[in-house]
Amino acid sequence: MLAFFYDYHTLALLLVILFFLFLHFKTIQTIKKSVQKMTEFSKKISEGDFNHSLNIRSRDELGALANSLNSMKDQLSSLFLDLVQEKQKLSSLLSGMYDGVLAIDPNKKIILYNKRVKEIFHLKEGDVRGRSLLEFIQNPDVISFFERALKEKKIFQKQIKIIDNTVKHYEIVVSPLQQDQENMWGVVAIFHDISDLKSVEQMRIEFVANVSHEFKTPLTSILGFTDTLINDKDIHQTQKEKFLKIIKQNVERLSYLMKDLLSLSSLESEVMFHKLCFKIQPFVEKLMLEFEKQAQEKEITLKTHIKVESMTADEPKLHQALYNLLDNAMKYTEKGGVITLSIQEEKGFLKLAVEDSGLGIHSTHLPRVFERFYRVDKGRDREMGGTGLGLAIVKHIALLHGGSVEVESEQGKGSLFSILIPLF
């Protein structure tokens, strides 16, 4: 009986132990599964995948841990989104910038750059972040400038010239990227293209030099002859008259020069520009009348070919432009030649052209004839009394009307100068 009791008791104990063992096993299995889930979950987060949540429903510590991991994921996800957006903003800001931006660390390794920098230095490689600056930039001025900024931890500004197919001028500003009082991340440089500014400055320098030169010749002559007239008491009357004539010619030359310069400057400042609709016929007749006498003297035939009744433009300015073209045609066409003024519509433009059968211009000079003071034959053209500003004035008048100028010419055969003004 006792044996049976013991057997029964042992069996019960065994069953209890088995039950607890089963429970223990089950718990371990659940914990293992949860840990596995958490491992996978954190792996996904580390890979930047925030689309999943931990699904552990237990009410114990594991459940609490899962809840805090889920809320950590939500916070990380929103932080990550913010970071991605900030990065996108920065990269579109950098790539949209007209200026070049290039940042390097204290070891001269590139940490940031934009598209413009790649264009400036012709970088063909893909992503050059982490690579040495010296691998890509050979310009000694730029390198020494970066090195100085890294060493002295100050803002520097400098103008540099980069020559490859063309000459480009840049203003570089290099500033330190300060981490704290002593340490810095590196330096960042901004490359601003100032080539247009430089060429305007160069044009201004050349213009002043040209103006001075143009003034110098007649002034020297006037001074010389007036000195002779003052100092030489025995000078003969005919000689005196000859000298006075030369002085007068030079004064006239100076006054033409002044007139043309003032004309150019008023055209450039765009003041007094009035467009009105006017009839072409009387406008052309007036112009032709001004050249009639000259044409008769040089036995030049003046022709007109007018296909438009009226036009909208600044009449006095257009008169000046056509006057300059006709004046040139008259000057550079020899006896017996033909000059034609034509006005007609052509492909959405009003084309005002002056054609002559004169000396013509060699093709090497054609791209420059509209420049101020440009003369094909310096000696000859100056002798003819020209200032070299006539065509520059024509070009400015065309530009003021939103149009352009063109020239076709062949040496020995003649020239065709055209002003093209958009119809609308």
Ligand X SMILES: Nc1ncnc2c1ncn2[C@@H]1O[C@H](COP(=O)(O)OP(=O)(O)OP(=O)(O)O)[C@@H](O)[C@H]1O
Residue 387 within binding range of Mg ion, rule CB under 5 A: no
8 Å CB contact between 114 and 103: no
CA 147 – CA 128 distance, rounded (Å): 19
Q: What are phi and psi of 98, to 5 degrees?
A: -75, -30
**Would you say 147 or 327 has its CB closer to ligand X?**
327
- 349-408 residues near ligand X, rule: CB under 6 A: 356, 358-359, 361, 369, 374-377, 381, 386-392
Residue 375: contacted member of ligand X, Mg ion, none (CB under 5 to 8 Å, by partner type): ligand X
Tell me the pairing of strands 184-193 and 167-178: antiparallel
CB-based contacts of 258: which residues, under 8 Å, 6+ apart? none
Binding window for Mg ion (CB under 5 A); candidates: 63-71, 187-195, 210-218, 387-395: 387-395
Q: Tokens 């931990």 — which residue?
A: 54
**Would you say 52 or 413 has its CB closer to ligand X?**
413
8 Å CB contact between 177 and 184: yes
Instruction: Give me 361's structure tokens.
Output: 């211009």
CA 176 – CA 268 distance, rounded (Å): 43
**Would you say 99 or 260 has its CB closer to Mg ion?**
260
**Would you say 12 or 203 has its CB closer to ligand X?**
203
Q: How far is the CB of 356 from Mg ion (least distance, A)?
A: 12
Half-sphere exposure of residue 125, counting CA atoms within 13 Å on the CB side?
A: 14
Instruction: Give me 255's structure tokens.
Output: 């006054």
**Would you say 50 or 207 has its CB closer to Mg ion?**
207
Selected from 186, 218, 360, 390, the binder of Mg ion by CB under 5 A is: 390
**How far is CA 202 from each of CA 198, 266, 389, rounded to the nearest angstrom?**
6, 21, 18
Residue 355: contacted member of ligand X, Mg ion, none (CB under 5 to 8 Å, by partner type): none
Q: Tokens 């009839």 — which residue?
A: 279
Q: How far is the CB of 302 from ligand X (least distance, A)?
A: 14
**How far is CA 356 from each of CA 320, 328, 330, 337, 370, rounded to the nearest angstrom?**
18, 9, 8, 7, 17
Q: What is the dihedral of CA 263, 265, 268, 273, to 10 degrees?
A: -50
Residue 358: contacted member of Mg ion, ligand X, none (CB under 5 to 8 Å, by partner type): ligand X
Residue 185: contacted member of ligand X, Mg ion, none (CB under 5 to 8 Å, by partner type): none
- 317-336 residues near Mg ion, rule: CB under 5 A: 328
Task: Convert residues 306-345 into a mask of x (bound to ligand X by CB under 6 A) and - (unbound).
Answer: ------------------x---xx--x-------------
**Would you say 122 or 378 has its CB closer to ligand X?**
378
Q: Tokens 């213009």 — which residue?
A: 207
Report H helices in 302-409. Answer: 315-331, 378-383, 390-400
Q: If you compute the radius of gyration of the chain from its CA atoms, what whole number of angstroms results? A: 43
- 109-138 residues near ligand X, rule: CB under 6 A: none
**Would you say 187 or 322 has its CB closer to Mg ion?**
322
**Would you say 114 or 415 has its CB closer to ligand X?**
415
**Would you say 323 or 349 has its CB closer to Mg ion?**
323
Q: How far is the CB of 328 from Mg ion (least distance, A)?
A: 4
Q: How far is the CB of 408 from Mg ion (least distance, A)?
A: 17
Residue 356: contacted member of Mg ion, ligand X, none (CB under 5 to 8 Å, by partner type): ligand X
8 Å CB contact between 326 and 341: yes
Element (H, E) at 169: strand 167-178
Q: How far is the CB of 327 from Mg ion (least distance, A)?
A: 5
CA 148 – CA 379 distance, rounded (Å): 52
Q: How far is the CB of 391 from ligand X (least distance, A)?
A: 3
Residue 261: contacted member of Mg ion, ligand X, none (CB under 5 to 8 Å, by partner type): none
CB-based contacts of 322: which residues, under 8 Å, 6+ apart? 287, 341, 352, 354, 419
Total Cβ atoms within 10 A of residue 404 = 14
Q: How far is the CB of 381 from ligand X (least distance, A)?
A: 3
Q: How far is the CB of 332 from Mg ion (least distance, A)?
A: 9
Q: Count residues binding ligand X (CB under 6 A).
A: 23
Residues that bind Mg ion (CB under 5 A): 328, 390
Residues that bind ligand X (CB under 6 A): 260, 324, 328-329, 332, 356, 358-359, 361, 369, 374-377, 381, 386-392, 415
